[in-house]
Chains A and B, each alone.
Chain A
Amino acid sequence: MRKPLLAAAALALVAVVTAGSVATAAPKATFTAALVSDIGKFNDKGFNQSQLAGLNEAKAKLGVKTISIQSNSSSDYLPNLTSMVRQGANIVSAAGYLLAPTLSQVAAQFPKVDFTITDDSVHGFDFQKAKEIKNIEGLVYASNQAGCLVGYLAGEMTKAKGGKQVIGAVGGIEIPAVDDYIVGYNYCAKLADPGIKVLVGYSQDFVAQDKCKTVAQNQIGQGSQVEFQVAGGCGLGALNAAADAGIWGIGVDVDQYAVAKNVLTSALKRVDTGIFDAIKQASGGHFKGGSDLLFDLANGGIGVGKISPKVPAADVAAMNALKAKLIAGTVKVPVAKGSDLLGLLPGATVGPTH
């Protein structure tokens, strides 16, 4: 038992060591793309899982080699990012702003490797201190536009139904990435139904479903007719609360139509497209470090998921008309305070969440 184990370990080690020396010599032979999750993990039915799908798409369509690793705590970020580099990754994608401080540290140590960060701008706070951001690309999403479209639909549905004109949004933490959605939701719900009241609550969590459920139930108790979840895996609890109360729920990031009953639609942030596009760029030698890639309605990085068949066709048509105006730029949706979108979306202004 013991000897084969040692022999195997020794052999494996030789393999690792030789692989290490080869990796620097011939990186072009196989292009390797890597993805590191945040603590939401890859089975969150949303943000992280979608990015993993983007990575797998790159593997299938671009023929690149892929590796992915999950972070269970914030102390995993640094070892995970560096071990991806040491396993020969040419591009390493960090799945969310939570990894930003660590990423700026790691990227400075490995100037020859390309890095991307989802949902964060290289001009944002976390990279101010990093002198070398030439090898980081920010993948920024105009999520205020997605929030706007689902908010408009929520407003239409509430107006048609009558009763208390109240809708709600459950955010994870009060940060710009979350609030961009909610500001858009609030703004466009009021376009559809000027007298509507938008309740906003934060669960302080992106994982524990019960916390979001409590916040949603609170809002439902105040007469909310639609619950928009902006809290990742935690928000599934808000969707369940909406389903239990027989009111509409709205999903976030990925299409969550099938996740719970009574889902009106979902505000899509195509983080999978972002990962895929960045890998495509990098493997083709067109990586643009030190800048941001903006994803919006116009280029399909932002969108709306499956709409419940119970929604009247006229409402869907009205929403699509608004969508066309957003793409044309004739209607501008405000963004959250401190949002990365301020410098990226032409003419963006700061708006309130409720």
Chain B
Amino acid sequence: MSQAAPTANVPPEQEPSTNFTVKLGIAQRAGGAVVPVMTGVLAFLAGGIVVAATGHNPWTAYKGIWQGAGFNWLFHIPWNTNTINLSAFNLSQTLLLTTTLILCGLAVAFPFRCGLFNIGGQGQYLVGLVVANWVGVSFASWPTLPHVLLGIFAAAAAGAVWAGIAGFLKATTGAHEVISTIMLNWIAIWGAQYLFGQGGPLQNTYNPAAPESGTVVQSAKIPVFWGSSALQGTDVGFFVALAMLVVFWLILNRTTLGYEVRATGFNPDAAAYGGINVRNKYIQAMAISGAFAGLAGALDMLGYLFQFGVLDVQASQIGFLGIAVALLGRNTAVGTGIAAFLFGGLLYGTTRGLNPNVFDPGLAGNLTSMIQGLIVLFVGADILILYVWNSRRKLKRRVAPA
């Protein structure tokens, strides 16, 4: 092996490299903003290169996305909150997506802290949508507040049960949660298609030709605080999502359950040795995660969707985007909130809000998927880089005394 020659050079070289590793390690462990920001910037740069390669101007494209997301509204003071103003409308729509993404992000972040990878956000979200739709279509005589609350709690509970199945399987049989949540996704997707499809139990009663759910009645609709309720304004569900960020932080950092969840996440064997019922933690962490995703479904259904069809079930992807949100947000409350806002803007700015004459939305929509993929890749790669770096250092240490 060729280690003989470099051995002589090790002492001077080892110092800076160790420092770098330690710094990077601290930045990573502390939930530091450095790595995620670098990840984001890199992903956007790579995206820009692709835009340039397709013969467009990346600067114009990103500016278009920025405006499409309504972010320019933030810099236009005094603020004109009337959503007839295009940028205000765009931002109100970005906030709608942010609401969903915060909760789908938390649904991935929470079990991550317990050492579990929940890929079932989409399925849990769909289960929440279906249950919220059922509650929203039924109980037409109820007053608004209990009706909305019932819809929200029922959907969150359904999501918790759905994810809890994966946690239960993990705890009892050791079935890997990645596999079981993926399979539960498909059960939810096909189940929802059956329920809303032609002749399905939750299909609308007024148009048998349309494979769509019934429409949520007025009393179950969450009030809108920004924009027109007839034109998909932003509903107060946004504040519920913000509150959930706080709840997430409180559970993790200020409760026994949170302590045990984190301990299990660091090292399940050590946690078990310390007297923590690791199996219970798996079930609880998954159930809490599912409740977040189910809540996302409820807020969407009662906030602005009101109706969902078989084709919509097939096209829905937002639960999966929660994975990228949680990874970029480093599985922390603040990080998830910021990442959800970024992805909400990106998603809205590249698809619905973008001026089609600036950049073809068909291409721009793919740009979102690409940036999302790059972020997941870089986040994974950064752990890989650390791993390689650390093992190199260990190798040198072992070689150095000889």
Contacts and interface: CB of A to CB of B under 8 A. Distances in A.
Contact of B231 (A16, A76, A78): A78
23 contacts: A6-B75, A8-B63, A9-B75, A10-B75, A12-B67, A12-B72, A13-B87, A14-B76, A20-B84, A39-B312, A67-B356, A68-B356, A73-B317, A74-B311, A74-B312, A78-B232, A83-B86, A83-B353, A86-B84, A105-B230, A173-B310, A205-B314, A208-B314
B307 interface: yes
Contact of A109 (B89, B231, B310): B231
Contacts of B354: 69
Contact of B352 (A76, A106, A108, A206): A76
A281 interface: no
Contact of A87 (B71, B309, B316, B355): B355
B198 interface: yes
A79 B72 contact: no
B203 to A, nearest CB: 12
B362 A13 contact: no
Contacts of B304: 75
B308 A10 contact: no
Contacts of B209: 125, 174-176, 338
A182 B230 CA distance: 37
Contacts of B305: 74-75
Nearest to B353: A83
A43 B72 CA distance: 31
Contacts of A86: 84, 86, 89
A175 B211 CA distance: 9
Interface string B50-89: 0000000000000100110001110110001000111101
A205 to B, nearest CB: 7
Interface residues of A, number: 49
A17 B85 CA distance: 7
A70 interface: yes
B285 to A, nearest CB: 29
Given A42-B362, A70-B361, A83-B352, 9 more contacts: A13-B67, A13-B75, A17-B87, A20-B84, A20-B86, A69-B354, A98-B309, A174-B209, A204-B197
Contacts of B357: 67
B95 to A, nearest CB: 12
Interface string A87-108: 1000000000010010001101
Nearest to B362: A70
A144 B197 CA distance: 25
A80 interface: yes
Interface in B324-378: 348, 351-357, 361-362, 365
Interface in A150-205: 173-176, 204-205
B98 to A, nearest CB: 14
Nearest to A73: B315
B72 A108 contact: no
B232 A206 contact: no
B206 interface: yes
Contacts of B311: 39, 74, 98, 205-207
A78 B63 CA distance: 23
A82 interface: yes
Residue of A13, A106, A109 with highest tally of chain B CB at under 10 A: A13
A175 to B, nearest CB: 5
Contacts of A205: 311, 314
A213 B71 CA distance: 44
B76 A10 contact: yes
B361 A69 contact: yes
B228 interface: yes
A70 B354 CA distance: 10
Contacts of A69: 352, 354, 356, 361
Nearest to B357: A67
A56 B73 CA distance: 32
Interface string A1-31: 0000010111011101100100000000000
